[in-house]
Amino acid sequence: MHPTSAPFPTTRFRRLRASAALRDLTQEHRLSVKDFIWPVFIRAGENTVEPIASMPGVNRLSIDRVVEAARMADGLGIPAICLFPYTDTALKTEDCAEAWNPDNLTNRAIRAIKAAVPGIAVMTDIALDPYNINGHDGFVVEGRILNDETVEALVKMALAQADSGADILGPSDMMDGRIGAIRQALEAAGHRNVTILSYAAKYASAFYGPFRDAVGASGALKGDKKTYQMNPGNSDEALRLVARDLDEGADMVMVKPGMPYLDICRRVKDTFGVPTYAYQVSGEYAMLRGAALNGWIDAERSMLESLLAFKRAGCDGILTYFAPEAARLLNG
């Protein structure tokens, strides 16, 4: 129960807004460079920077260029970078074997970044969709996405990434039981300090479109992902999923997408008090960037306001494509 305020004019709320100094002193939530995980897209080749049409300002980078990007991010104080591969169509198969190839694009990029910029944390994505000819996060048999067989593949993928030096594994597939299986395998393999940031509450959202362009999965996807990603109408279910993933060994949890699901972020943080993250996804980025490029909103103010909203909703950090741009502003 909040105490009531004395009546006007004894209480004037505007007193504490009267100057920049007073507004700073009474601000409840703050955004920091240390809140950011920067998602980046990688592709084969050398010295390659390939623009993504549906995400203005975001590019696919060859490994040499992503190492440069990691060095830049580290210099800005961004603590972590997250890798998403654009996989050549020739490497996409029904069995998704490229997903756990020790020398696949992601694993080579992990090793290159950790060798050049050991201080930055490298996060990875664990799901089969970049390697699946069907575009799904799991194995597809007669139109059904198989759960348990997919989990076995995800474990192999996780171990290959941990062996390559990944600091944070991000299972984004939403298969049942995958956190427990991955945690047990990591412990058995001696990877005791590898962290799991679970995509615990990942919704079957319309806001992922530009991302699927970025990783080359849009054309491949047959059907939708509603049998494994969450129904946007549900919120209690998100808490059950988070509880399960924590029980199975997740160290941190994520809500995805971000801004349309700030209520979920708040419920997760209030209920569990664990490190809680949100992913400001490609569609959110594209909307803000597109409106700013058209002159409809202020680019810098809208970006920072959107990011601050995650902090207000209880998030400890944000995966955002705005990370370097926001970091430069916050660093002055």
Per-residue tokens: 278: 């949100």
- Annotation says 202 is catalytic: yes
202, 225, 269, 311: the catalytic one is 202
92, 256, 269, 311: the catalytic one is 256
Residue 297 near residue 288, CB atoms below 8 Å: yes
- Residue 115 burial by Cβ neighbours in a 10 Å radius (0-12, 13-18, 19+): exposed
Strand partners, 59: 51
- Write the Ramachandran bin of 305: left for phi over 0, alpha for psi from -120 to 50, otherwise beta: alpha
* DSSP E strands, the chain: 36-42, 49-51, 59-61, 80-85, 121-126, 140-141, 144-145, 168-171, 195-202, 252-256, 276-280, 317-320
- Annotation says 225 is catalytic: no
Amino acid at 28: E
- Residues acting as catalytic residues: 202, 256
